[in-house]
Amino acid sequence: MESEKREISDRREAANRWKEIAKMETGLSSLDTSAGRARHDACVQVRLFLPLPNLVFNGMENPEIKESLTALVRKMDLDSTDVMWSLHKGVSGCSEKNQRDQNLHLHISYRPRNSEGKKHRICIRREVISLREALGGWLQERGYEIDWESVSQPGKRRHISPEKIAMAERGELLHSPEEQLQADLTLAKRLVAKLTREEARRILLELFRSKEAAFSRLEEEMALLGWSVSRIRRGKRDTWILKDESGKELALRRILNYREEEVHRLFLALQSRDAEKTPSKEPSEIPLEHAEDDAEIEQTESGEATSEVSRN
């Protein structure tokens, strides 16, 4: 971390510095700059997330990596009194089902106030382009091919606030065609999810009421729609989910409005129906060699019984 042209390498010292900044920016202590403060300027920290190629530091020692990343952050020219970065490699998950590949990325946190006391923000359409250009140049120096046209044109903004979505839902037109399109897409996705939940609920309730209810039949019904039902681990518990044709997962407890324990009992009952329908082995299905062995055992037992009777 660099704070007012001073390097801080100790984590505790860095944490204490951010606490000081938080008090200054929220009005709990006086500012360390000559500029004033307004309530809308109470932002303490801006965070950036930069994905990196997993092999970009291959063959480099830790001091070289640190020097290289420090040069990258300085090239971004964030115009801040305090800048901190940390490199994350990504760790494997705890279970086999939740394994993650290496995900090399850089976190940059900085105070949105410069040495003159001026507060600033990142403008998505303007300043992000300069950050992308700095990262692109840094990667190009390390032998990576960069598509500079896409770097200078970040594309349309995809985020839209819940308030504007609610306005579009009421039928009000938004000022920006870009935001109107994003709101329409969001509402369309919500409608598809709603229809999926309603159809899944109908299929499940009809199957539960049917005399031929079984888990195999449920799988067949879902497969016709391109869906699947399974039980997966989420956090600290197992839960039944429905996966639609796009790969989106929906919790069945929310579709049925049941508790997870009740959903699990229902599906155990369906699976037991399949077990009951599985035919057991009839005597005719017993292999010949086993049948001959059983006949020999019966013959010896009857012989022993006859000898005991003659003795008596």
Best-predicted range by mean pLDDT (5-14, 204-213, 254-263, 301-310): 254-263
**Region class of 128: left (phi > 0), else alpha (psi between -120 and 50), else beta:** alpha
DSSP 48: E
Q: How far apart are CA 309 and CA 312, in angstroms?
A: 5
What are the start-end ranges of the H helices in 172-214? 177-209
Tens digits of residue pLDDT in 45-81: 888 888 888 888 888 899 999 999 999 998 888 888 8
- Whether 295 has a pLDDT exceeding 50, the answer reads no
pLDDT of residue 38: 56
Largest CA distance in the chain: 120
Tens digits of residue pLDDT in 99-155: 445 788 899 999 888 888 787 766 655 567 778 888 888 999 888 888 877 776 655
Tens digits of residue pLDDT in 235-279: 778 999 998 888 888 889 999 999 999 999 988 988 888 887 765
Q: Order of strands across the sheet with 228-234? A: 228-234, 237-243, 249-251
- Whether 312 has a pLDDT exceeding 80, the answer reads no
Return the SS3 of 103. Answer: coil
Residue partners of 256: CB distance under 8 A and separation at least 6: 201, 204, 205, 263
The two tokens of residue 171 are 């039928």
Phi, psi of 138 (to 5 degrees): -65, -40
Q: How many residues would you count in the chain?
A: 312
pLDDT of residue 69: 92
CB 242 within 8 A of CB 229: yes
* Least confident range of 31-45, 63-77, 193-207, 210-224: 31-45
The predicted model scores a pTM of 0.50
> In whole angstroms, what separates CA 10 from the centre of its chain?
32
Residue partners of 27: CB distance under 8 A and separation at least 6: 37, 42
Return the SS3 of 221. Answer: helix
pLDDT of residue 240: 92
Q: How far apart are CA 269 and CA 273, in angstroms?
A: 6
Return the SS3 of 122. Answer: coil
* Residue 204 amino acid letter: L
* Residue 246 amino acid letter: S
Contacts 24+ apart (CB under 8 A), 230-238: 231/264, 231/267, 232/97, 233/95, 233/97, 233/98, 238/264
- Half-sphere CA count of 223, side-chain side, radius 13 A: 6
Higher-confidence position of 242 and 26: 242
CB 189 within 8 A of CB 197: no
Residue 298 banded pLDDT, cuts 50, 70, 90: very low
Tens digits of residue pLDDT in 191-204: 888 888 899 999 88
* Over residues 27-46, mean pLDDT: 73
Parse the chain into domains and list their residue ranges: 2-155, 178-277
pLDDT of residue 123: 60
* Over residues 170-181, mean pLDDT: 84
- Whether 289 has a pLDDT exceeding 60, the answer reads no
Percent of the chain with pLDDT over 70: 77
Q: Which residues lie across from 234 on neighbouring strands?
A: 237
- Whether 281 has a pLDDT exceeding 60, the answer reads no
* Over residues 283-297, mean pLDDT: 42
CA distances from 246 to 2, 100, 196, 230, 275 (A): 45, 21, 11, 16, 31
- Whether 306 has a pLDDT exceeding 80, the answer reads no
- Whether 95 has a pLDDT exceeding 60, the answer reads no
* Least confident range of 3-7, 61-65, 170-174: 3-7
The two tokens of residue 229 are 């039902």
- Half-sphere CA count of 29, side-chain side, radius 13 A: 8
